[in-house]
Structure 1
Amino acid sequence: MNIDSNIGHMKYNDTKQKFSEWEQQLITDGPGFTYMAKFDQGESYSGSLGFADLEEKKRLTIDSIFNLASISKQFTAFSILLLEQGNKLALHDPITKYLPELPEYANDITIQDLIYHIGGMVDYIELALAKQIDYSDPLGPEESLADLVAYPVPLYQVGTQFDYSNTGYFLLSIIIERVSGQSYKDFAQEHIFSPLKMDNSFIVESYPVQTMIARGYRKDSKFSYQLYESLWTQTGDGAVHSTASDLMKWGENFASGKVGGKALVEKMLQALPPKHITGKTIKNHEQYAYGIIISQHFGISHFEHSGGWAGYATYFLRIPSLGLSVAVLGNIENLDTQKIAYDITDIILTQYKELYIHND
């Protein structure tokens, strides 16, 4: 793109003003969120509203660390692809090759089926809740795996239905550990976070956490803010902790292929085809790729994923054709981070429409 630098500078200032006006409508005296939007190697917009710790009256900053919740799934899928690239596993491998303790029906489920949420397995979270285990109670991966081993039948035949489930990505993290010989935490640190200089990103696999992170909250019946954080230590479906600025580095890797290479990051964007194993259209089919959802919400192809966990709500989206990444990280349960991320993107697209869409 050939963009006049003076025009670009004016648009940058205009957009900053738009964000300032937008923030004025959102000021809060409770927990809140941080956000960042960035063009690859270019201008960025960021802000933070609310408190990271209500008890200590510590405000959120753009450097605040949050539990990413299900945004974590794309790092799990990426790790699986790294292992495939190194000939350590194959996506068509049955998961019982690495998890032989699972029930017999799991012999028909492949690694890729777990990635695409079509494996048909019960969600381990539902099994825990059925045992009256609350999110604030301790629960480790060993007990959750044991619950899955003891569950004798699938919910549906593999490859016939899309059913978003945390079980698949939780099991993928165990496969990563058994194949690599490392904890998933160490594998991700060595192969993703460190190479991309995501210096404030890490996986939590035990509590308490020594690094300062934004505390999680929810509103009680009297609409007061209540501290609400989970002690569960499963990984793969969640547990990545990061900042908005680190997620910009992650977004840029989809263009540069610095880690994994461009062929691998392109594979990340291959969505679940409507027809998979059975040849029949998959029930509840969605454009789900490798831990991300392919969308056309803005009239431009992009990918995105939300995250929601005890006390946290998050969102990440990227528009590859514009080299634009957007992250919203909140520390209040049920915050509509999708709307916030869409509002941020709309502000930028409206301001830069002439420059970035018509000047290619």
Structure 2
Amino acid sequence: MTDLDLLALRRRARRLLAPWDRPGSPGATLGLVRDGALVLQESAGEASLELGVPIGPGTSFRIASVSKQFTCAAILLLAREGRLSLEDDVRDRVPALAALGTRVSIDQMMRNASGLRDMLELMRLSGTDLSHPATPAQILAMAGRQRGLNFAPGTRFLYSNTGFMLLGRIVEQAAGAPLDAVLEQRIFAPLGMTRTRHTPLLRDVVPRLATGYLPDGAGFVRAQHGFPLGGEGGLVSCVEDLAIWDRNLATGLVGGDWLHAALTERAPFENGRLNIYARGLEVTEYRGLRTENHGGLWPGYRTCFLRAPGAGVTAIVIANHGGIDVHTLGHRLLDAALEGRPGLHPLPALPPKPSLDPLAGRWLEPETGATLEIEIAADGTPMANQHGQPFALAAGEDGRLHARRGIYPFALTVPEGDALLVETDAGSVTRYRRAGEGGAPPEGLAGTWRCEELDATWTVAPADDGLAVQVRGPVSASGPWQVLPVEGDCFRVLTPATLFQGWVDAKALRDAAGRLAGFAVTGSRVRGMRFTRAG
């Protein structure tokens, strides 16, 4: 790379950061690794709005789920030493879990193919959001109460923080030492990653740690989080240290060549389709190149770690602004670094806006009551929304529209009638139809309902012009949560949260006589939670 190439790349990076390059705004830092060298690091925005401290090369951030590959690396190192087997049943290692009626292996948890329900969503459904204090024991107890799975292990992919929290505990059990000590001694210290550490609690003092912020109208508020973090997302790090880790994946200083191969080895589901999620890294293709990547999301922090090893290029983006789309920034930085590379596939263009109009509206999967909202933005970008999490759709090389969102298999074609087919994990295809207009929640929904797996009670009562839910769980209470009709027995419950205004989909369960006997609730990472009438 010539000096002029680097100058042009820096200017491209500055343009990407321009929206946050102003006083009074949190921002982001970008890093680009090329052929083993950190050739670029540019930053914009402030690490502390209160103190007016700018983000710079020495700023650290919570990298959230980018931590997962390090937890997997620790598991793999211990397995190579014979301290555990990747085929061990999780219950043999964590007896606090209830019998699930089937084996869940360590390897399935590393691949997000375990079927374990996500603990963060379980806590939210029981009335405890990320901003509320919780203890490791309370989170483990929530996971331990589960008697069912989202699906049979090894058959599907669904992101589960529960699996990685348990993996962190298994590291500690097998190594006979705390997770932070294992990661420091086995990975960080040997590599010189001196500004990376496992930091589970908000109260811990971390030098030069950026404060996380969330947009609030025209300004910002400090992001609140009270949950302890384990193997699922407890690391604090920076661009320089993640560049060092990227170099280790290429050189094998820690772990040898086999470690990178093991972290990025894809495995088939039971139907033979390959899982895009390897072990703490998603392995897929972008513009004809193999990529290995992972994102991180925590209140006020977002991270994108994006490798294109065949091109010798890695893009790293970390933000302390909860509204920045680091996934898109990382790919735009990668585009800039790959510009002019022979054989690079062009970015497919979106169809013209009028041809996308049939996508707009609310779509319903009648069997479970799952809903999908799609709207077409003014610039012609289709925006999808599931459970309150909006994401853009981008044109794919296969002619379909794909989610522009990290680690989220989702592809659809523009419908020609009232049926919308969406392909997700393991090649599964879900058939949606247009939802009806108006209606009312199922008759008889008012009352008190109990979910034993959540140890929570939902009380549904009239509120304003409709119904609302008051939630009482084992840790805290929440509400009112508004109930909105969708169609027939299908309804939606709004679930306010620190990260976004979410919702869960629900469908009435009826007895043989057709009477309302309960309802099943489905969220983004929790499926089919059953509530029955209390008393």
TM-score of the pair, normalised by structure 2: 0.61
Partner of 1:341: 330
Q: Distance in 2 between matches of 1:34 and 1:343?
A: 14
Q: Distance in 1 between matches of 2:17 and 2:97?
A: 50
What is the CA-CA distance between 1:43 and the residue it aligns to? 5.4
1:174-222 per-position Cα deviation (integer Å, ceiling 9, x unaligned): 10011111111111011111111011000112341212311011122x3
2:291 is the counterpart of 1:302: yes
What is the CA-CA distance between 1:271 and the residue it aligns to? 1.5
2:76 is the counterpart of 1:116: no
Q: Distance in 1 between matches of 2:267 and 2:116?
A: 17
Partner of 1:314: 303
Q: CA RMSD in A?
A: 2.1
SS in 1 for 2:305: strand
Partner of 2:314: 325
Q: 1:145 aligns with which of 140, 144, 148?
A: 140
Q: Give ranges in structure 2 of 5+ residues lacking alignment.
A: 346-535
Partner of 1:4: none
> For residue 10 of structure 1, what is the amino acid of its counterpart?
L
Partner of 1:129: 124
SS in 2 for 1:45: strand
Following superposition of structure 1 onto structure 2, how do residues 66-215 of structure 1 map, counting pairs within 5 Å?
66-105=61-100, 108-212=103-207, 213-215=209-211
Q: 1:263 aligns with which of 238, 258, 263?
A: 258
- Does structure 2 conserve the Cα–Cα contact (< 8 Å) formed by 1:304 and 1:316? yes
- Does structure 2 conserve the Cα–Cα contact (< 8 Å) formed by 1:12 and 1:43? no
Partner of 1:291: 280
- Does structure 2 conserve the Cα–Cα contact (< 8 Å) formed by 1:52 and 1:59? yes
- Does structure 1 conserve the Cα–Cα contact (< 8 Å) formed by 2:120 and 2:130? no
Q: Distance in 2 between matches of 1:204 and 1:257?
A: 25
Partner of 1:236: 231
Q: Distance in 2 between matches of 1:54 and 1:62?
A: 17
Q: Sort the Cα spacing of 1:104 and 1:347 in 2 relative to 1 into closer, same or farther, 3 A.
A: same
What is the CA-CA distance between 1:89 and the residue it aligns to? 0.7
What is the percentage of aligned positions where both structures have the same residue?
27
Q: Distance in 1 between matches of 2:111 and 2:285?
A: 19
- Does structure 1 conserve the Cα–Cα contact (< 8 Å) formed by 2:12 and 2:336? yes
More helix per residue: 1
What is the CA-CA distance between 1:13 and the residue it aligns to? 3.1
- Does structure 2 conserve the Cα–Cα contact (< 8 Å) formed by 1:255 and 1:323? no
Q: Distance in 1 between matches of 2:152 and 2:260?
A: 30
2:7 is the counterpart of 1:13: yes
- Does structure 1 conserve the Cα–Cα contact (< 8 Å) formed by 2:313 and 2:337? no
Moved more, 318-327 or 37-46: 37-46
Q: Distance in 2 between matches of 1:32 and 1:81?
A: 35
- Does structure 2 conserve the Cα–Cα contact (< 8 Å) formed by 1:305 and 1:317? yes
- Does structure 1 conserve the Cα–Cα contact (< 8 Å) formed by 2:16 and 2:329? no
1:335-356 per-position Cα deviation (integer Å, ceiling 9, x unaligned): 20011101111111116x26x9
- Does structure 2 conserve the Cα–Cα contact (< 8 Å) formed by 1:96 and 1:107? no
What is the CA-CA distance between 1:21 and the residue it aligns to? 4.5
The number of residue pairs the alignment matches comes to 343
Q: Sort the Cα spacing of 1:22 and 1:128 in 2 relative to 1 into closer, same or farther, 3 A.
A: closer
Q: Distance in 2 between matches of 1:124 and 1:41?
A: 37
- Does structure 2 conserve the Cα–Cα contact (< 8 Å) formed by 1:215 and 1:229? no
Q: Sort the Cα spacing of 1:312 and 1:42 in 2 relative to 1 into closer, same or farther, 3 A.
A: closer
What is the CA-CA distance between 1:281 and the residue it aligns to? 4.8
Q: Distance in 1 between matches of 2:321 and 2:13?
A: 21
> For residue 214 of structure 1, what is the amino acid of its counterpart?
A
- Does structure 1 conserve the Cα–Cα contact (< 8 Å) formed by 2:316 and 2:330? yes
1:255-306 per-position Cα deviation (integer Å, ceiling 9, x unaligned): 1000011012111111232x33xxx256xx7411111111211321111111
> For residue 55 of structure 2, what is the amino acid of its counterpart?
L
SS in 2 for 1:11: helix
- Does structure 2 conserve the Cα–Cα contact (< 8 Å) formed by 1:96 and 1:106? no
Q: Sort the Cα spacing of 1:157 and 1:332 in 2 relative to 1 into closer, same or farther, 3 A.
A: same
TM-score of the pair, normalised by structure 1: 0.90
SS in 1 for 2:187: helix
Partner of 1:3: none
- Does structure 2 conserve the Cα–Cα contact (< 8 Å) formed by 1:160 and 1:281? no
Q: Distance in 2 between matches of 1:74 and 1:338?
A: 17
SS in 2 for 1:72: helix
SS in 2 for 1:194: helix
> For residue 228 of structure 2, what is the amino acid of its counterpart?
T
- Does structure 1 conserve the Cα–Cα contact (< 8 Å) formed by 2:201 and 2:229? no
- Does structure 1 conserve the Cα–Cα contact (< 8 Å) formed by 2:197 and 2:237? yes
What is the CA-CA distance between 1:156 and the residue it aligns to? 2.0
- Does structure 1 conserve the Cα–Cα contact (< 8 Å) formed by 2:32 and 2:313? yes
- Does structure 1 conserve the Cα–Cα contact (< 8 Å) formed by 2:187 and 2:254? yes
Q: Sort the Cα spacing of 1:24 and 1:160 in 2 relative to 1 into closer, same or farther, 3 A.
A: closer
SS in 1 for 2:332: helix
Partner of 1:39: 34
Q: Distance in 2 between matches of 1:20 and 1:138?
A: 38
Q: Sort the Cα spacing of 1:147 and 1:50 in 2 relative to 1 into closer, same or farther, 3 A.
A: same
What is the CA-CA distance between 1:116 and the residue it aligns to? 1.1
Q: Sort the Cα spacing of 1:123 and 1:68 in 2 relative to 1 into closer, same or farther, 3 A.
A: same
Moved more, 196-205 or 20-29: 20-29
Q: Distance in 1 between matches of 2:295 and 2:46?
A: 21
SS in 2 for 1:296: strand
Moved more, 38-47 or 197-206: 38-47
Q: Distance in 1 between matches of 2:31 and 2:137?
A: 36
